[in-house]
Structure 1
Amino acid sequence: MGARTFVVVGGTSGLGLAVARLLADEHRVAVLGDVSDEVAAVTDELGCAGGVCDVSSYEQVRDAFAAVARRYGVIDGVAACASVWAGGDLAQLSPERIRRTVEVNALGTTYVLREALHHLRRQNHGNVVYIGAMAVTKPRPGIPLYRATKSYGSSLVESLAEAQHSNRVKVMQLHPGPMPTRLQDRVGDAFLDEIYALPEQVATEVVRLLLLAPEDLYVSGEHVLRADGRW
């Protein structure tokens, strides 16, 4: 299909940055992040487009997607990688931390998927890959809020995928295990499994899903578990 246009939300670090790097050589990439200096550094490194976008703001998400659509005329795929960590017993989390986690992981995911599907449906083709977490498949002590918000995203994706009624617009999700990323640095080694994948390794699976063509025999709702070196 030649060069295509992809939006990587949360593409300034970790898995999102690894996805943007894999795509940038052969495709048009727009990286969205909430820190202007980080967006500038990535766009300089990759020679790609970028924009400052706090996904907790619907207006910023709407405007960022509209800007990409105006610039390139089409959006072929979206990697929804933006996420914040919230570890610790619920009683130990500040109200501010609780609010920010819900705003980014739940509301932000909703806004990103809403705008992504708006553009993909208008074009009648394209792929969305939501980056979840293995935490949603099994309760794990110490991360009740993080798991709850990522479970929200997973449930939303499942419902949206079922509603597509066409293979031309695919809504998919991938659930990595803990990886050595900036988010993992904040988490601590206690949550890093003995067997794990690097962001660059998981990124190849994200890109594989993003590059699926409308006629490829993968239906909306593709669900990839344990992209962490085991499965």
Structure 2
Amino acid sequence: MGGPGRGGPGCGGRVSGEGAAVRGGRDRGARNYVVVGGTSGLGLAAARLLADEDRVVVLGDVPDEVTSVADDLGCDGGVCDTSAYDEVRDAFAEVVRRYGTIDGVLACASVWAGGDLADLPPERIRRAVEVNALGTTYVLKEALHHLRRQGYGNVVYVGAIAVTQPRPGIPVYRATKSYGTSLVESLAEAQHSNRIKVMQLHPGPMPTRLQERVGDEFLDEVYALPEQVAAEAVRLLRLAPDDLYVSGERVLRADGRW
């Protein structure tokens, strides 16, 4: 890992770049964070906040976007399709190889699948399941593998307020995000230690590119801004091993208000 062109095409699941190494050299007390899905929306807003003080690795599935964000934030970036286990495994392994430890992981990679089930193309359904369910599973599997090995760290999964009540217009999206919530709850109970916290954040509707990337319009009239929710995500990521917040903490944000 290293050299110019961080996050550039062809890096696969690897993490590359010089920015974070330089930043780390200036701040010996910096912590190490991985933002999965950090090239836009909430992930980008959180990565921007974290990069002010700490080392950040941004993972995304579009090479040009990863390169642009890594250059902008002065951090490391890697191209990683979360639905491919090998890429997730290799990306996390490379972060650990470079920095030794991971203090926190923000899991916010997600694919939108809005509309009636009868109208959704099979490929859209499949991709939502691959990223929102399989991808989340792979990310949490690898994150917890490394956190358990080192004995501490935080994972924050970004769900959606939609999982708390039925939304008939988004059955597939809600179902796949509900999968993530169920997985996080079970994993949180399995930690048996507050030193490794597995938490979840459920934002209300946010004006991000989640829907735009598949050609859907943003229809919700009241929403939370990614920058507002990012502050809470960063707060959870920075909790110390001995902080009283326990694994399983659930934070809800709905209708633009706490």
Query: Residue 31 of structure 1 contacts residue 50 of structure 1 at CA under 8 Å; is this kept in 2?
Result: yes
Give the match for residue 109 of structure 1: 136
Matched, 1:136 2:163: yes
Give the match for residue 13 of structure 2: none
Q: Give the Cα separation in 2 of the matches to 1:51 and 1:229.
A: 32
Give the match for residue 59 of structure 1: 86
User: SS of the counterpart of 1:67?
Assistant: helix
Give the match for residue 223 of structure 1: 250
Q: Report the residue type matching 2:128 in the other structure.
A: T
Matched, 1:82 2:109: yes
Tell me: CA distance 1:32–1:166, structure 2 relative to 1, closer, same or farther (3 Å): same
Tell me: CA distance 1:66–1:228, structure 2 relative to 1, closer, same or farther (3 Å): farther
Q: Report the residue type matching 1:170 in the other structure.
A: K
Q: Which of 209, 218, 224 pairs up with 1:189?
A: 218
User: SS of the counterpart of 2:130?
Assistant: helix
Matched, 1:23 2:62: no
Q: Which of 173, 178, 196 pairs up with 1:151?
A: 178
Q: Report the residue type matching 1:188 in the other structure.
A: E
Identical pairs, percent: 80
Q: Give the Cα separation in 1 of the matches to 2:133 and 2:196.
A: 22
Matched, 1:47 2:74: yes
**Shift in Å at residue 228 of structure 1?**
4.9
Q: Give the Cα separation in 1 of the matches to 2:174 and 2:218.
A: 18
Q: Report the residue type matching 1:182 in the other structure.
A: R
Q: Give the Cα separation in 2 of the matches to 1:85 and 1:45.
A: 26
**Shift in Å at residue 168 of structure 1?**
0.2
- TM-score, with length taken from structure 1: 0.96
**CA offsets, 1:118-175, max 9 Å, x none?**
0000000000000000010011121000000000000000000000000000000000
What is the total number of aligned residue pairs between the two structures? Answer: 229
Q: Give the Cα separation in 2 of the matches to 1:228 and 1:59.
A: 38
Cα RMSD (Å) of the superposition? Answer: 1.2
Where structure 1 has 5 or more consecutive residues not aligned to the other structure, the ranges are none
Where structure 2 has 5 or more consecutive residues not aligned to the other structure, the ranges are 1-27
Q: Give the Cα separation in 1 of the matches to 2:255 and 2:153.
A: 26
Query: Residue 207 of structure 2 contacts residue 218 of structure 2 at CA under 8 Å; is this kept in 1?
Result: no
Q: Give the Cα separation in 2 of the matches to 1:6 and 1:228.
A: 29
- TM-score, with length taken from structure 2: 0.86
Runs of 4+ in 1 over 4 A off after TM superposition: none
User: SS of the counterpart of 1:97?
Assistant: helix
User: SS of the counterpart of 1:189?
Assistant: coil
Query: Residue 205 of structure 2 contacts residue 254 of structure 2 at CA under 8 Å; is this kept in 1?
Result: no
Matched, 1:4 2:31: yes
